[in-house]
């Protein structure tokens, strides 16, 4: 602890680098968490939306609706008219309301939303059902939200990978910084180490304070980064305001899980320990 205070400038510097590295990992992990959460939500409400031709008669719509309802995969069916679709759009995206009103026509086709019985149904079976319904000339297009869920999930994985890649590079940089800071500390305390050796101190006895310094730096840096990530999550939506609209739900932050928090703290400790160890292995040969 004495040494941490004695060489405070270099320690503050290394603490900042460790913190920044883990902030990058934390932010990307948080975004990934959010995307995965959205994907899970979508998968839970497994739904297929069949968009119909605008000029279909009520009886033709009824026939398609019956065909869908009688499928063994379908739990419930709901017909959505163009007006209702328009209202829902305005409700979800209020900032785009003017564009829709300026069109003077309602661009939304009538649709049938079919909720599926089992969220775990194999995709092939659902696609087969969609193909069957699509054969009907009244069906113009189909939207299947599992595809969206898959896409969002992939995006989540990609975000996580980018986070680990960028964070990994920075964590590696932190490792070298910790290693060099400990090297400087070893050099600064050369005379003390020399005396300790001559009065019979073991290698472990001499190394432990340096290793502890590394671990303290790493853990403190990662804890600080968690605090920064927490404030970023709180402040980011305030900074953006409502400009992102519904998109905010997708790109917004969700705080890290308990396991991730512990993993980041442990990671910080490991970076500090290994950085210190590598330095001692090179500069404190005994």
Look at residue 79 and give its three-state secondary structure.
strand
Look at residue 12 and give its three-state secondary structure.
helix
Site for another protein in 171-200 (CB under 8 A): 191-192, 194-200
Does 254 bind another protein (CB under 8 A)? Our answer is: no
Q: What is the DSSP letter of 137?
A: T
- Least distance to another protein from the beta carbon of 281, Å? 14
> Out of 202, 227, 245, 266, which residue is the one contacting another protein (CB under 8 A)?
202
- Least distance to another protein from the beta carbon of 206, Å? 9
| CA triple 233-234-240, angle to 5 deg | 85
Does 10 bind another protein (CB under 8 A)? Our answer is: no
Does 157 bind another protein (CB under 8 A)? Our answer is: no
Number of residues that bind another protein (CB under 8 A): 14
CB of 80 or CB of 201, closer to another protein? 201
CA dihedral 79→144→254→22, nearest 10 degrees, is: -170
CB of 2 or CB of 104, closer to another protein? 2
- Least distance to another protein from the beta carbon of 210, Å? 16
> Out of 201, 212, 228, 251, which residue is the one contacting another protein (CB under 8 A)?
201
CB of 12 or CB of 195, closer to another protein? 195
Does 1 bind another protein (CB under 8 A)? Our answer is: no
The site for another protein (CB under 8 A) is made up of 191-192, 194-203, 205, 286
């Amino acid at each position: 602890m004495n040494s941490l205070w004695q060489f405070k400038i270099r320690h503050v510097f290394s603490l900042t680098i460790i913190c920044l590295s883990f902030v990058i990992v934390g932010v990307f992990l948080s975004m990934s968490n959010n995307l995965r959460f959205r994907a899970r939500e979508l998968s839970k409400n497994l739904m297929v939306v069949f968009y119909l031709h605008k000029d279909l008669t009520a009886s033709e719509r009824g026939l398609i609706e019956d065909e869908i309802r009688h499928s063994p995969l379908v739990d419930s069916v709901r017909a959505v008219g163009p007006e209702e679709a328009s209202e829902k759009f305005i409700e979800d995206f209020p900032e785009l309301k003017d564009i829709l009103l300026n069109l003077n026509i309602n661009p939304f086709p009538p649709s049938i939303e079919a909720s599926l019985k089992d969220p775990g149904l194999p995709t092939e079976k659902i696609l087969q059902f969609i193909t069957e319904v699509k054969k009907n000339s009244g069906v113009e297009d189909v939207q299947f939200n599992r595809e969206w869920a898959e896409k969002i999930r992939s995006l989540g994985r990609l975000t996580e990978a980018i986070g680990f890649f960028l964070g990994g590079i920075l964590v590696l940089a932190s490792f070298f910084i910790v290693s060099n800071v400990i090297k400087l500390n070893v050099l600064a305390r050369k005379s003390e180490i020399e005396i300790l050796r001559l009065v019979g101190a073991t290698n472990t006895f001499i190394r432990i304070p340096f290793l502890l310094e590394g671990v303290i730096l790493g853990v403190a840096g990662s804890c600080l980064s968690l605090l920064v990530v927490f404030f970023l999550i709180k402040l980011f939506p305030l900074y953006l305001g409502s400009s992102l609209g519904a998109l905010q739900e997708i790109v917004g932050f969700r705080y890290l899980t308990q396991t991730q928090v512990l993993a980041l703290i442990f990671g910080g400790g490991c970076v500090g320990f290994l950085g210190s160890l590598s330095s001692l292995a090179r500069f404190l040969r005994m």
